[in-house]
Structure 1
């Protein structure tokens, strides 16, 4: 027997006992509080959360919060009077370097970690949520789900070319415990829960 075969045989003999996977809790009793749980977690990681009745209400809040924004891009028609329409897919990403605010929809939100799922169906350009200075995402309250396990059940059955979870503004910290926002992405994230 070669040394390779003896090593593999030793590894095979010394495998730990297989254990059943843990059950994922259903959290069914918390369904009514998903928006509240999402909001609490989102605020704790640096996002601002607003519960709104309409896109128009979100627009008024954003105009107040980002009154100094010079370049705004939005996919929502309600922003047509204050924002550029979303760029087409063949736009040179370098032309977006001066975007102050991007307002985009999110397909779903996860209460567990305040992550928002966006795909190329919601994004005119993949780079837009990462290159803008400030990002606003709109998610319907009924699209907030309890856990990442549930999110994977939803997104696993979909077809998309690009998808990403976004949770909170961009941040990084160093060994000296200095937190920097916006180091490699949006400096702020505003989440609008459409109720």
Structure 2
């Protein structure tokens, strides 16, 4: 037996007996309508929320908000882009995307976060390499808090999951805030069922 194997054997033998995890209650949610709470939290993190009645409204909003966008990659059927997203798309090929358009599975009112898996992003790098991320989100899909997220079956079954709260941001020691330093420069949540 090697030294490594002997060492690991001793660690395994010293493990405490397993015991059931405690049942964590769902704590009461703050008062207020979830959409309003989500919008307040996301705005505090530098994101923006807008309403839309149709996919055509979304297309018009993208054209108005990002008039200089040359490369738009959309993972949402009905919102046109000029860069295809598919399972075969090479993640690094999205490095020049100006606007990425995705649909969030659900949002978290407590934090203003949107949950994505590999199914929503199609290519995970879209959420990090695009300059601007536009997220379609159904207000009916909001959960109150993070405790509900971890109890959802889609959270447990996803191979990849991420909660996104606002655009990327960093601040130096003098408190100078810079958006988009390590990711998207803007995050726009579009309320659309």
In the superposition, the TM-score normalised over structure 1's length comes to 0.81
User: Which residue number in structure 1 is paired with residue 78 of structure 2?
Assistant: 78
Which residue pairs with 2:128 in the alignment? 130
**1:84 deviation in Å?**
2.7
- State the secondary structure of the residue aligned to 1:168: coil
Q: Which whole-Å CA distance do the structure 2 matches of 1:189 and 1:179 have between them?
A: 16
State the secondary structure of the residue aligned to 2:120: coil
Which residue among 161, 166, 170 is the counterpart of 1:168? 166
- For the residue of structure 1 that corresponds to 2:101, the secondary structure is strand
Partners of 1:121 and 1:190 lie apart in 2 by 20
Root-mean-square deviation (Å): 2.1
In structure 2, the residue matched to 1:90 is: 88
User: Are residues 25 and 94 of structure 1, via their aligned partners in 2, closer, same or farther at CA, if it must alter by over 3 Å?
Assistant: closer
Asked if 2 retains the 8 angstrom alpha-carbon contact of 1:75 and 1:85, the reply is no
How many residues were matched structurally? 172
Gaps of 5+ in 2: 1-21
Distance (whole Å) between structure 1 residues aligned to residue 146 and residue 161 of structure 2:
14
1:46 and 2:46 are equivalent in the alignment: yes
* Other-structure match for 2:138: 140
Aligned position for 1:59:
59
Rate the CA distance shift 1:153–1:75 in 2: closer, same or farther, 3 A: same
The TM-score, its normalising length taken from structure 2, stands at: 0.81
Pick from 109, 112, 116 the counterpart of residue 110 of structure 2. 112
1:86, 1:124 within 8 Å by CA — same for their partners in 2? no
Q: Say if 1:100 and 1:132, in contact at 8 Å, map to a contact too.
A: yes
List runs of 5+ in structure 1 lacking aligned partners. Answer: 1-19
The question of whether the paired residues in 2 share the 8 Å contact of 1:52 and 1:58 is answered with yes
Question: C-alpha separation between the residues in 2 aligned to 1:155 and 1:193?
Answer: 24
